[in-house]
Amino acid sequence: MYGYGTEATPFGELVIVVSAKGLVAVGLGEALEDVLRRIRKRLNVDVHVDQRRAQPYLNKLAAYLAGRATLEDVEIDTCLMTAFQKKVLLELRDVPYGSVVTYGELAHRIGKPGAARAVGGALARNPIPLVLPCHRVIASDGSLGGFSSPEGVAAKARLLALEGAAPQSR
């Protein structure tokens, strides 16, 4: 069974979906229905409000967004990820809070040198941003690259600044 919960944050409405295994999806600044539609389409399941089960995750994510916590210990459920995406996104857990890597470096880390664009594609479809910190991946020229959030690269810059790792966008 999949449940969801929501909470207002300084970064916009936080929507999460959880399963018995852990966090399935995070939407930051996204409409609740958009997040739920994505889950229903990919998994062909019903998702019901379950604020009680979602609340510990919401608390941890809200504390992160307030600069009071890191997210290394958050349990996740990778059910929305392809095998390649899973490999890319789980590697992100090794990028420390306050640090950045390039798309090329991340491709090299997963044993796919030269696959920076494919890595970027996997990051663009990250179902669990923040916890799997795709915002810590930048272009080789030091620019921010992209970020799949309604606020776009501005949200990425805010998250990096929150962590004290704000490279200059060019």
Taking the chain (170 residues) in runs of 10, the rounded mean pLDDT of each run is 93 94 95 94 94 96 94 96 97 94 96 96 95 94 80 87 70
Residues spanned by the domain of 135: 83-163
Asked if residue 60 and residue 87 are part of one domain, the reply reads no
Quick check: is 18 in a domain?
Answer: yes
- Residue 71 covered by a domain: no
Same domain, 92 and 156: yes
Q: What angle do CA 129, 72, 34 make, to 5 degrees?
A: 20
Q: Please check whether residue 72 lies inside any domain of the structure.
A: no
Q: Do the domain assignments include residue 110?
A: yes
| Same domain assignment for residues 88 and 159 | yes
- Contacts (Cβ under 8 Å, ≥6 apart) of 69: 60, 63
In three-state secondary structure terms, 108 is: helix
Q: What is the pLDDT of residue 10?
A: 87
Q: Which of 134, 137, 144, 162 is catalytic?
A: 134
Is 78 a member of any domain? no
pLDDT at 167: 60
pLDDT, residue 168, reads: 47
> What pLDDT score does 170 carry?
39
Together in a domain, 90 and 127: yes
SS3 28: strand
Contact call for residues 2 and 140 (beta carbons, < 8 A)? no
Q: Which of 9, 12, 27 is nearest to 130 (CA)?
A: 27
Same domain, 90 and 159: yes
Measured between alpha carbons, how far is 151 from 154 in angstroms, rounded to an integer?
6
The dihedral over CA atoms of 156, 158, 161, 163, expressed in degrees to the nearest 10, equals: -70
Nearest Cα to 7, choosing from 33, 29, 35?
Answer: 29
- Please answer whether residues 106 and 91 qualify as being in contact, where contact means their C-beta atoms are separated by less than 8 angstroms: yes
* 134 included as an active-site residue: yes
61 and 113 part of one domain? no
Q: Which of 14, 131, 126 lies closest to 75, judged by CA?
A: 131
The token pair at 23 is: 């966090």
- pLDDT given at position 66: 92
Q: Are 114 and 158 contained in the same domain?
A: yes
Q: What is the predicted pLDDT for the residue at 169?
A: 44
| Residue positions counted in the chain | 170
Residue 100 corresponds to which tokens in the numbers above? 């950045």
Residue 150 confidence (pLDDT): 66
Statement to judge: residues 89 and 119 lie in one domain: yes
Q: Are residues 136 and 107 in the same domain?
A: yes
Same domain, 12 and 42: yes
pLDDT at 67: 92
Q: How many domains does the chain have?
A: 2
CA distance 46 to 82: 21
- The enclosing domain of 8 has a CATH number of 3.30.160
Do 94 and 157 fall within a single domain?
yes
Residues 108 and 58 placed together within one structural domain of the fold:
no
The reported pLDDT for the residue numbered 6 is 96
